[in-house]
Amino acid sequence: MPPTANNWNFVIAAYVIAWVTLGGYWLFVHRAVRQARAQYDQAVSAAAKSEGTSK
Amino acid sequence: MSTQSTSWVPPRAGRWPLFGAFTILFLIAGQVLGLTQSPADRDMGDLEKIIYVHVPAAWVMSVTFAIVMFYSLRYLWKRDERDDLAAAAAAEVGTLLNGLTLALGMIFGKPTWGVWWAWDARLTSTLVLFLIFIGYLSLREFVDDPERRAQWSAAVGILGAINVGIVYMSVRWWRTLHQMQSSPETVDATYVLALRVNAFAFLFLMIYFVRRRYESLCLVRAADHAAEAAALRGA
Protein backbone atom coordinates (compact mmCIF):
# COMPACT_ATOMS: atom_id res chain seq x y z
CA MET A 1 0.00 0.00 0.00
CA PRO A 2 1.63 3.36 -0.94
CA PRO A 3 1.92 5.83 1.93
CA THR A 4 -0.25 8.33 0.07
CA ALA A 5 -3.20 5.90 0.06
CA ASN A 6 -5.94 6.41 2.64
CA ASN A 7 -4.11 5.67 5.86
CA TRP A 8 -6.46 7.27 8.34
CA ASN A 9 -6.75 3.99 10.26
CA PHE A 10 -3.04 4.26 11.15
CA VAL A 11 -3.46 7.92 12.11
CA ILE A 12 -6.48 7.13 14.30
CA ALA A 13 -4.63 4.19 15.92
CA ALA A 14 -1.66 6.47 16.71
CA TYR A 15 -3.84 9.16 18.31
CA VAL A 16 -5.91 6.63 20.27
CA ILE A 17 -2.74 5.01 21.65
CA ALA A 18 -1.26 8.41 22.54
CA TRP A 19 -4.40 9.64 24.32
CA VAL A 20 -5.10 6.36 26.12
CA THR A 21 -1.47 6.20 27.33
CA LEU A 22 -1.30 9.83 28.47
CA GLY A 23 -4.85 9.80 29.88
CA GLY A 24 -4.21 6.55 31.73
CA TYR A 25 -1.02 7.92 33.24
CA TRP A 26 -2.84 11.13 34.20
CA LEU A 27 -5.36 9.07 36.19
CA PHE A 28 -2.57 6.97 37.73
CA VAL A 29 -0.67 10.08 38.85
CA HIS A 30 -3.74 11.65 40.44
CA ARG A 31 -4.61 8.46 42.28
CA ALA A 32 -1.00 8.12 43.45
CA VAL A 33 -0.98 11.70 44.80
CA ARG A 34 -4.32 11.20 46.58
CA GLN A 35 -3.23 7.91 48.20
CA ALA A 36 0.19 9.31 49.15
CA ARG A 37 -1.42 12.38 50.74
CA ALA A 38 -3.77 10.16 52.79
CA GLN A 39 -0.85 7.93 53.85
CA TYR A 40 1.19 10.98 54.88
CA ASP A 41 -1.65 12.59 56.86
CA GLN A 42 -2.29 9.31 58.67
CA ALA A 43 1.41 8.83 59.49
CA VAL A 44 1.77 12.40 60.75
CA SER A 45 -1.31 12.18 62.98
CA ALA A 46 -0.13 8.81 64.35
CA ALA A 47 3.31 10.33 65.04
CA ALA A 48 1.71 13.31 66.79
CA LYS A 49 -0.34 10.94 68.96
CA SER A 50 2.70 8.88 69.89
CA GLU A 51 4.61 12.06 70.72
CA GLY A 52 1.75 13.08 73.03
CA THR A 53 1.71 9.75 74.86
CA SER A 54 5.50 9.58 75.22
CA LYS A 55 5.62 12.95 77.07
CA MET B 1 25.72 5.75 58.80
CA SER B 2 22.83 7.03 56.73
CA THR B 3 23.32 10.33 54.96
CA GLN B 4 19.66 10.55 53.98
CA SER B 5 17.89 13.73 55.06
CA THR B 6 14.81 13.11 57.20
CA SER B 7 13.84 16.64 58.17
CA TRP B 8 12.15 17.91 55.00
CA VAL B 9 8.47 18.66 54.45
CA PRO B 10 6.86 17.18 51.30
CA PRO B 11 5.87 19.66 48.57
CA ARG B 12 2.25 20.83 48.34
CA ALA B 13 0.03 20.70 45.26
CA GLY B 14 -0.17 24.51 45.14
CA ARG B 15 -1.23 25.75 41.71
CA TRP B 16 -0.09 22.65 39.87
CA PRO B 17 -3.65 21.32 39.25
CA LEU B 18 -4.36 24.61 37.46
CA PHE B 19 -1.20 24.17 35.39
CA GLY B 20 -2.40 20.64 34.56
CA ALA B 21 -5.76 21.93 33.33
CA PHE B 22 -3.99 24.56 31.17
CA THR B 23 -1.72 21.84 29.77
CA ILE B 24 -4.65 19.66 28.72
CA LEU B 25 -6.31 22.58 26.93
CA PHE B 26 -3.02 23.45 25.23
CA LEU B 27 -2.53 19.83 24.17
CA ILE B 28 -6.08 19.61 22.75
CA ALA B 29 -5.47 22.84 20.81
CA GLY B 30 -2.20 21.47 19.44
CA GLN B 31 -3.72 18.18 18.39
CA VAL B 32 -6.71 19.84 16.72
CA LEU B 33 -4.33 22.21 14.91
CA GLY B 34 -2.22 19.31 13.67
CA LEU B 35 -5.17 17.16 12.63
CA THR B 36 -7.24 19.82 10.91
CA GLN B 37 -4.89 22.54 9.67
CA SER B 38 -1.89 20.75 8.22
CA PRO B 39 -2.29 19.53 4.63
CA ALA B 40 -1.50 15.97 3.55
CA ASP B 41 2.18 15.48 2.72
CA ARG B 42 3.21 14.84 -0.91
CA ASP B 43 5.02 11.60 -0.02
CA MET B 44 3.38 10.42 3.18
CA GLY B 45 -0.18 11.56 2.64
CA ASP B 46 -2.23 11.86 5.84
CA LEU B 47 0.33 9.82 7.74
CA GLU B 48 2.24 13.05 8.38
CA LYS B 49 -0.33 13.74 11.11
CA ILE B 50 1.38 11.11 13.24
CA ILE B 51 4.40 13.42 13.58
CA TYR B 52 2.36 15.63 15.94
CA VAL B 53 2.40 12.87 18.55
CA HIS B 54 5.45 10.78 17.62
CA VAL B 55 8.01 13.60 17.29
CA PRO B 56 6.97 15.58 20.44
CA ALA B 57 6.97 12.35 22.46
CA ALA B 58 10.53 11.59 21.26
CA TRP B 59 11.84 15.13 21.83
CA VAL B 60 10.32 15.44 25.30
CA MET B 61 11.50 11.93 26.20
CA SER B 62 15.09 13.18 25.64
CA VAL B 63 14.48 16.22 27.85
CA THR B 64 13.01 13.99 30.56
CA PHE B 65 16.05 11.72 30.58
CA ALA B 66 18.28 14.80 30.80
CA ILE B 67 16.34 15.66 33.99
CA VAL B 68 17.07 12.13 35.27
CA MET B 69 20.76 12.71 34.64
CA PHE B 70 20.73 16.11 36.36
CA TYR B 71 19.05 14.86 39.53
CA SER B 72 21.06 11.63 39.59
CA LEU B 73 24.32 13.59 39.46
CA ARG B 74 22.98 16.00 42.06
CA TYR B 75 22.03 13.10 44.34
CA LEU B 76 25.53 11.61 44.09
CA TRP B 77 26.97 15.02 44.92
CA LYS B 78 24.64 16.21 47.71
CA ARG B 79 23.10 12.93 48.96
CA ASP B 80 19.68 14.56 49.38
CA GLU B 81 17.02 11.91 48.85
CA ARG B 82 14.66 14.46 47.30
CA ASP B 83 17.02 14.51 44.30
CA ASP B 84 16.71 10.73 44.08
CA LEU B 85 12.90 11.03 44.15
CA ALA B 86 12.97 13.73 41.46
CA ALA B 87 15.14 11.49 39.26
CA ALA B 88 12.78 8.56 39.87
CA ALA B 89 9.73 10.66 38.94
CA ALA B 90 11.43 11.84 35.73
CA ALA B 91 12.59 8.30 34.89
CA GLU B 92 9.03 6.98 35.14
CA VAL B 93 7.65 9.71 32.87
CA GLY B 94 10.58 9.34 30.47
CA THR B 95 9.98 5.59 30.21
CA LEU B 96 6.32 6.23 29.45
CA LEU B 97 7.27 8.65 26.65
CA ASN B 98 9.93 6.25 25.42
CA GLY B 99 7.38 3.43 25.14
CA LEU B 100 4.96 5.80 23.42
CA THR B 101 7.65 6.90 20.95
CA LEU B 102 8.38 3.27 20.06
CA ALA B 103 4.70 2.33 19.68
CA LEU B 104 3.89 5.39 17.54
CA GLY B 105 7.03 4.82 15.49
CA MET B 106 5.89 1.27 14.73
CA ILE B 107 2.49 2.55 13.60
CA PHE B 108 4.29 5.10 11.41
CA GLY B 109 6.71 2.46 10.09
CA LYS B 110 4.19 -0.09 8.86
CA PRO B 111 2.61 2.01 6.07
CA THR B 112 5.79 3.97 5.22
CA TRP B 113 8.46 1.23 5.39
CA GLY B 114 6.18 -1.80 5.00
CA VAL B 115 7.27 -3.32 8.34
CA TRP B 116 6.30 -2.75 11.95
CA TRP B 117 9.88 -3.07 13.15
CA ALA B 118 13.39 -3.03 11.68
CA TRP B 119 16.66 -3.58 13.56
CA ASP B 120 17.82 -0.18 12.43
CA ALA B 121 20.25 1.82 14.63
CA ARG B 122 17.70 4.48 15.66
CA LEU B 123 14.98 1.98 16.53
CA THR B 124 17.34 -0.42 18.27
CA SER B 125 19.06 2.29 20.35
CA THR B 126 15.63 3.64 21.38
CA LEU B 127 14.60 0.11 22.41
CA VAL B 128 17.85 -0.29 24.40
CA LEU B 129 17.10 3.04 26.14
CA PHE B 130 13.61 1.78 27.00
CA LEU B 131 15.00 -1.48 28.42
CA ILE B 132 17.61 0.38 30.51
CA PHE B 133 14.88 2.47 32.13
CA ILE B 134 12.62 -0.55 32.63
CA GLY B 135 15.66 -1.93 34.49
CA TYR B 136 15.92 1.34 36.45
CA LEU B 137 12.27 1.15 37.56
CA SER B 138 12.57 -2.57 38.39
CA LEU B 139 15.69 -1.87 40.46
CA ARG B 140 13.77 0.65 42.53
CA GLU B 141 11.08 -1.93 43.23
CA PHE B 142 13.49 -4.64 44.34
CA VAL B 143 16.00 -2.75 46.51
CA ASP B 144 14.57 -2.01 49.97
CA ASP B 145 17.36 0.08 51.49
CA PRO B 146 16.60 3.68 50.39
CA GLU B 147 20.23 4.79 50.33
CA ARG B 148 21.47 1.83 48.31
CA ARG B 149 18.47 2.12 46.00
CA ALA B 150 19.22 5.79 45.41
CA GLN B 151 22.92 5.17 44.67
CA TRP B 152 22.31 2.30 42.27
CA SER B 153 19.43 4.15 40.59
CA ALA B 154 21.62 7.21 40.10
CA ALA B 155 24.30 5.10 38.41
CA VAL B 156 21.78 3.41 36.08
CA GLY B 157 20.02 6.72 35.43
CA ILE B 158 23.25 8.41 34.35
CA LEU B 159 24.22 5.49 32.09
CA GLY B 160 20.73 5.44 30.57
CA ALA B 161 20.71 9.18 29.97
CA ILE B 162 24.09 8.95 28.19
CA ASN B 163 22.37 6.56 25.79
CA VAL B 164 20.08 9.44 24.72
CA GLY B 165 23.10 10.92 22.93
CA ILE B 166 23.59 7.64 21.05
CA VAL B 167 19.90 7.61 20.09
CA TYR B 168 20.18 11.19 18.81
CA MET B 169 23.37 10.61 16.82
CA SER B 170 22.44 7.12 15.56
CA VAL B 171 20.98 8.49 12.31
CA ARG B 172 24.30 10.22 11.57
CA TRP B 173 26.69 7.54 12.79
CA TRP B 174 25.00 4.61 11.02
CA ARG B 175 23.08 4.15 7.80
CA THR B 176 19.47 3.91 9.00
CA LEU B 177 15.99 3.44 7.66
CA HIS B 178 14.88 6.23 9.99
CA GLN B 179 15.21 9.74 8.60
CA MET B 180 17.78 12.30 9.84
CA GLN B 181 16.88 14.66 12.69
CA SER B 182 14.33 17.31 11.72
CA SER B 183 14.56 21.01 12.54
CA PRO B 184 12.44 24.06 11.59
CA GLU B 185 14.88 24.53 8.68
CA THR B 186 14.22 21.05 7.27
CA VAL B 187 10.44 20.94 7.90
CA ASP B 188 8.06 22.83 5.64
CA ALA B 189 6.66 25.98 7.29
CA THR B 190 3.10 24.59 6.96
CA TYR B 191 3.93 21.90 9.51
CA VAL B 192 6.22 23.86 11.85
CA LEU B 193 3.51 25.70 13.84
CA ALA B 194 1.53 22.57 14.76
CA LEU B 195 4.74 20.72 15.53
CA ARG B 196 5.91 23.53 17.83
CA VAL B 197 2.59 23.80 19.65
CA ASN B 198 2.48 20.04 20.21
CA ALA B 199 6.13 19.96 21.30
CA PHE B 200 5.40 22.60 23.96
CA ALA B 201 2.17 20.83 24.97
CA PHE B 202 4.09 17.58 25.52
CA LEU B 203 6.79 19.51 27.38
CA PHE B 204 4.23 21.10 29.73
CA LEU B 205 2.53 17.74 30.23
CA MET B 206 5.86 16.13 31.08
CA ILE B 207 6.66 18.89 33.60
CA TYR B 208 3.23 18.43 35.18
CA PHE B 209 3.57 14.64 35.37
CA VAL B 210 7.09 14.80 36.83
CA ARG B 211 6.10 17.41 39.42
CA ARG B 212 2.99 15.52 40.59
CA ARG B 213 4.79 12.18 40.63
CA TYR B 214 7.62 13.78 42.61
CA GLU B 215 5.02 15.12 45.05
CA SER B 216 3.52 11.65 45.59
CA LEU B 217 6.94 9.98 46.02
CA CYS B 218 7.94 12.65 48.56
CA LEU B 219 4.70 12.16 50.49
CA VAL B 220 5.26 8.40 50.72
CA ARG B 221 8.87 8.87 51.90
CA ALA B 222 7.83 11.53 54.40
CA ALA B 223 5.13 9.17 55.72
CA ASP B 224 7.82 6.48 56.14
CA HIS B 225 10.03 8.93 58.02
CA ALA B 226 7.15 9.93 60.31
CA ALA B 227 6.34 6.26 61.01
CA GLU B 228 10.03 5.50 61.72
CA ALA B 229 10.28 8.47 64.07
CA ALA B 230 7.11 7.39 65.91
CA ALA B 231 8.42 3.82 66.21
CA LEU B 232 11.75 5.08 67.63
CA ARG B 233 9.95 7.21 70.19
CA GLY B 234 7.79 4.26 71.18
CA ALA B 235 10.80 1.92 71.55
- Total-model pTM: 0.91
Mutate to test the interface with A, among B8, B107, B177 (most CBs of A within 10 A): B107
The answer to whether position A30 is within a domain reads yes
Give the type of residue at B228: E
> What CA–CA distance (Å, rounded) separates B117 from A32?
34
The answer to whether position A28 is within a domain reads yes
pLDDT at B165: 93
- Phi, then psi, of B41 in degrees rounded to 5: -75, 150
Question: Smallest CA–CA separation between B36 and chain A, in Å?
Answer: 13
Q: Do B226 and A35 touch (CB under 8 A)?
A: no
For B43, the closest of A3, A5, A42 (CB atoms) is: A3
For A47, the closest of B47, B99, B226 (CB atoms) is: B226
* List of residues 6+ apart from A13 with CB closer than 8 A: B107
Q: Do B107 and A46 touch (CB under 8 A)?
A: no
> Confidence band (pLDDT; 50, 70, 90) for B1?
very low
Residue A16: give the domain boundaries. Answer: 10-45
Strand partners, B41: B45
Helical spans, DSSP H, in B38-118: 51-78, 81-113
pLDDT tens-digit series, residues B91-100: 999 999 999 9
B217/A contact by beta carbon, under 8 A:
yes
Helix (H, G, I), strand (E, B) or coil at A38: helix
Question: Smallest CA–CA separation between A49 and chain B, in Å?
Answer: 9
Mutate to test the interface with A, among B48, B54, B100, B219 (most CBs of A within 10 A): B219
- Structural contact between residues B71 and B34, judged by C-beta atoms closer than 8 angstroms: no
Q: Do A40 and B219 touch (CB under 8 A)?
A: yes
- Phi, then psi, of B45 in degrees rounded to 5: 65, -140
Strand partners, B45: B41
The answer to whether position A53 is within a domain reads no
pLDDT at A4: 58
B199/A contact by beta carbon, under 8 A:
no
Helix (H, G, I), strand (E, B) or coil at B45: strand
The answer to whether position A31 is within a domain reads yes
Number of compact structural domains in chain A? 1
- CA B76 to each of CA B135, B150, B215: distance values in angstroms, whole numbers, following the listed order: 19, 9, 21
Q: Do A4 and B45 touch (CB under 8 A)?
A: yes
Here the ipTM equals 0.89
pLDDT tens-digit series, residues B104-149: 999 999 999 899 999 999 999 999 999 999 999 999 999 989 999 9
> What CA–CA distance (Å, rounded) separates B203 from B27?
10
**DSSP letter string, B193-210:** HHHHHHHHHHHHHHHHHH
Domains of chain B: 16-234 (1.20.120)
